[in-house]
């Protein structure tokens, strides 16, 4: 949008910063409630279907069979998961450099749809065991909400997004609104039965995932169709079989006629008017022209992903807020947390030699948290869930030549069934884990670089050790062989579940947001992505972000119409 456009043409009822899972939901709910809404995305536009260049392609249809050439890698030295199939989502090193005061992996999705195009699509609800954790265990601050506040919004999001799974009846993992789940493999089913026999408090279930297995009218209206089980989800899905902003919430909002999307909009800061005691808009840097442009709105939703949302608020300074918007208590950017995925495991089983998998499963199985659920029973706070996946190995003799090589490749020898395991631990937020703006270093847009200062603590170490011990015992009781469970020592951030820094709470002295994700000291700004999280739980967090967002938007619109914001 040209810089000389009138302020009126740059004024909307609402602005949403970020187009990922939570930003897309903010846009949908705002537009459904009749508000003209601008979505700001710092990266390029991505049209659903048209802009998934590697979707459904076989390895031989890719120039380098999935690998990334040495020449291409020069621009992505800091990238993780660098593959040819998903290179179109990768972030170049010069886009947003940051300072690792301690080792940290920060995976970002700067394009329309954000990480909703790249996520693992796992959608487990929280329970009151999670929301009550800080109060019971004495860490962080008490959540200002409980499961009863979230239950209708979980259901609202699930029905629209489409969730596959079962009704499992577990109090530690409340049931979702689901359509049929994906079938377990025989090795997973066997492990499920072994757990039921040997451990009364442990349950293997089909992980609930954001895939459509039985399309309902609301999904057809979105233009989406049934998951085809391609298991190529992180390339982008032309069928809309899994939930993403691009396939679901953004086009839905666009159909209302109320939505404007603005790619290449690098948010610099939120504009605060001291006379009005409110935020009046958002200042961006055009990524292509480097022009500074201001957009205006009555309500602002910050959904830029956890660390970037912290950075934007920290950079939103004024005479009233010299340390960042809403930061009267100095806690903005502190108590950053994430998930503990350090523990990995695997084993083999010599049975089921007459069976193999048929097709692909885009999901996995899941053991909900079983440690410290009803009471404190270990030497560490909180607990962990476990992801489980089973498959059968097939072996080829790649050292052969000629006819022997061809036959070996066409008719590989079946090996043992294998089971893989990974922990999903709850990290306890501590004040020293924080982000802040560098005093001197800036990026190419003139925005201060973010300093990330986060590290594991003893609670995390003890949790990993418990996962190793318990997983080994569970595998042994199942009769598995070649068991290996270990601590990968991966750095914080490797799980891509950053949370905190702008936490919710009951008291403005100890939190930044109230029970409706509203800044205590700037009532028309809401933060509903991972930055708002008071604690982390063990569940994949995106479903909770989406439900919090839908809830907060409807509160914000009601308050706006009452004249309270």
Are the C-beta atoms of 435 and 336 separated by less than 8 Å?
yes
Q: Quote the domain boundaries for residue 180.
A: 168-207+340-426+456-491
Cα gap 53→50, rounded to integer Å = 8
* Residue pLDDT tens, the chain, 565 long: 445 568 999 999 999 999 999 999 999 999 999 999 999 999 999 999 999 999 999 999 999 988 998 988 988 887 777 899 999 999 999 999 999 999 999 999 999 999 999 999 999 999 999 999 999 999 999 999 999 999 999 999 999 999 999 999 999 999 999 999 999 999 999 999 999 999 999 999 999 999 999 999 999 999 999 999 999 999 999 999 999 999 999 999 999 999 999 999 999 999 999 999 999 999 999 999 999 999 999 999 999 999 999 999 999 999 999 999 999 999 999 999 999 999 999 999 999 999 888 788 899 999 999 999 999 999 999 999 999 999 998 888 888 889 888 888 888 888 999 999 999 999 999 999 999 999 999 999 999 999 999 999 999 999 999 999 999 999 999 999 999 999 999 999 998 999 999 999 999 999 999 999 999 999 999 999 999 999 999 999 999 999 999 999 999 999 999 999 9
Cα gap 101→452, rounded to integer Å = 6
Query: What residues pair up with 414 in beta bridges, in sequence order?
Result: 394
Residue 264: DSSP 8-state: S
Which residues, including other chains, have CB under 8 Å from residue 324's CB and lie 6 or more apart?
313, 314, 315, 316, 317, 332, 333
Token code pair at residue 456: 């594991």
User: Could you tell me the CA-to-CA distances from 279 to 129, 297, 363, 394 in Å, in that order?
Assistant: 36, 8, 42, 60
Exposure b/e, 411-444, CB count within 10 A at least 16 = b: eeeeebbbbebbbbbbbbbbeebbbbbeeeeebe
Q: Look at residues 144, 124, 125 and name the one whose alpha carbon lies nearest to residue 134.
A: 144
Return the pLDDT at 4: 53
Token code pair at residue 517: 């994700």
Residue 108 is assigned to a structural domain of this protein:
no
**Which SS3 state, helix, strand or coil, does residue 314 take?**
helix
Cα gap 497→333, rounded to integer Å = 16
Token code pair at residue 468: 């190793």
Residue 503 is assigned to a structural domain of this protein:
no
pTM listed for this prediction: 0.96
**Which SS3 state, helix, strand or coil, does residue 252 take?**
helix
Q: Look at residues 245, 212, 225, 177 and name the one whose alpha carbon lies nearest to residue 20.
A: 245
Dihedral angle over CA of 16, 19, 24, 25, nearest 10: -60
111 phi-psi bin (left φ>0, alpha ψ -120 to 50, beta other): beta
Return the pLDDT at 281: 98
Residue 372 is assigned to a structural domain of this protein:
yes
Q: Look at residues 443, 494, 451 and name the one whose alpha carbon lies nearest to residue 92.
A: 443
Residue 203 is assigned to a structural domain of this protein:
yes
Return the pLDDT at 540: 96
Query: What residues pair up with 37 in beta bridges, in sequence order?
Result: 14, 259
Return the pLDDT at 2: 45
Return the pLDDT at 399: 85
Residue 284 is assigned to a structural domain of this protein:
no
Cα gap 375→353, rounded to integer Å = 42
Return the pLDDT at 366: 97
Instruction: Indicate the helix (H) or strand (E) that contains 135.
Output: helix 133-137
Total number of residues shown for the chain: 565
Cα gap 459→455, rounded to integer Å = 12
Residue 37 is assigned to a structural domain of this protein:
no
> In the block, which residue shows the tokens 């040819």?
84
Tell me the chain's radius of gyration from C-alpha atoms: 24
Residue 431 is assigned to a structural domain of this protein:
no
Q: Is 328 exposed, middle or buried (0-12, 13-18, 19+ CB in 10 A)?
A: middle
Return the pLDDT at 1: 44
Cα gap 119→496, rounded to integer Å = 9
Are the C-beta atoms of 413 and 376 separated by less than 8 Å?
no
Residue 349 is assigned to a structural domain of this protein:
yes
Token code pair at residue 470: 């318990």
**Count of the separate structural domains present in the chain:** 1
């Amino acid at each position: 949008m040209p810089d000389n456009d009138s302020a009126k043409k740059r004024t909307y009822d609402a602005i949403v910063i970020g187009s990922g899972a939570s930003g897309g939901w903010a846009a949908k709910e705002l537009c459904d409630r009749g508000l003209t809404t601008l979505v700001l995305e710092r990266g390029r536009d991505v049209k659903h279907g048209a802009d998934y260049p590697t979707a459904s392609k076989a390895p031989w249809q890719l120039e380098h069979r999935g690998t990334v050439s040495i020449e291409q890698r020069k621009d992505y030295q800091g990238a993780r998961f660098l593959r040819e199939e998903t290179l179109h989502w990768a972030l170049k090193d010069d886009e947003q450099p940051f300072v690792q005061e301690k080792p940290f992996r920060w995976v970002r999705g700067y394009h329309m749809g954000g990480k909703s195009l790249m996520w693992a699509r796992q959608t487990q609800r929280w329970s009151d065991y999670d929301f009550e954790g800080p109060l019971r265990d004495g860490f962080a601050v008490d959540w200002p909400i409980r499961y009863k506040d979230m239950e209708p919004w979980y259901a609202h999001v699930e029905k629209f997004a489409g969730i596959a799974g079962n009704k499992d009846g577990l109090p530690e993992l409340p049931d979702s609104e689901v359509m049929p789940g994906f079938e377990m493999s025989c090795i997973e089913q066997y492990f499920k039965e072994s757990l039921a026999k040997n451990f009364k408090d442990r349950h293997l279930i089909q992980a609930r995932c954001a895939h459509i297995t039985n399309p309902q009218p609301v999904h057809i209206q979105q233009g989406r169709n049934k998951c085809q089980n391609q298991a190529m989800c992180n390339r982008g899905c032309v069928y809309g079989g899994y939930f993403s902003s691009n396939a679901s919430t953004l086009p839905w909002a666009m159909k209302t006629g109320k939505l404007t999307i603005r790619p290449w909009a690098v948010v610099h800061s939120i504009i605060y008017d001291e006379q009005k005691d409110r935020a009046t808009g958002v200042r961006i840097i055009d990524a292509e022209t480097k022009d500074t442009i201001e957009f205006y709105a009555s309500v602002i939703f910050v959904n830029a992903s956890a660390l970037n949302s912290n950075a934007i608020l920290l950079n939103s300074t004024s005479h009233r807020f010299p340390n960042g918007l809403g930061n009267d208590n100095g806690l903005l950017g502190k108590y950053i947390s994430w998930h503990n995925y350090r523990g990995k495991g695997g084993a083999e089983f010599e049975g089921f030699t007459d069976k193999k998998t048929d097709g692909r499963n885009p999901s996995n199985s899941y053991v909900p948290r079983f440690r410290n659920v009803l009471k404190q029973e270990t030497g560490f706070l909180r607990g962990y869930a476990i992801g489980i996946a089973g498959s059968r190995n097939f072996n080829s003799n790649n050292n052969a030549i000629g006819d022997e090589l061809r036959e070996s490749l066409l008719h590989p020898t079946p090996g043992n069934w294998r089971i893989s395991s990974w922990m999903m631990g709850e990290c306890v937020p501590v004040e020293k884990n924080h982000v802040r703006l560098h005093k001197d270093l800036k990026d190419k847009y003139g925005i201060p670089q973010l300093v990330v200062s986060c590290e594991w603590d003893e609670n995390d170490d003890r949790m990993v050790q418990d996962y190793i011990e318990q997983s080994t015992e569970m595998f042994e009781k199942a009769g598995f062989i070649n068991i290996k469970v270990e601590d990968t020592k991966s750095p914080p951030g490797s799980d891509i579940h950053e949370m905190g820094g702008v936490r919710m709470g009951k008291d403005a002295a100890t939190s930044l947001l109230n029970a409706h994700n509203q800044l205590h000291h700037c009532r028309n700004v809401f933060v509903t992505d991972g930055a708002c999280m008071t604690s982390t739980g063990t569940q994949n967090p995106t479903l909770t972000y989406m439900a919090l967002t839908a809830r907060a938007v409807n509160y914000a619109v009601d308050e706006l119409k009452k004249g309270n914001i």
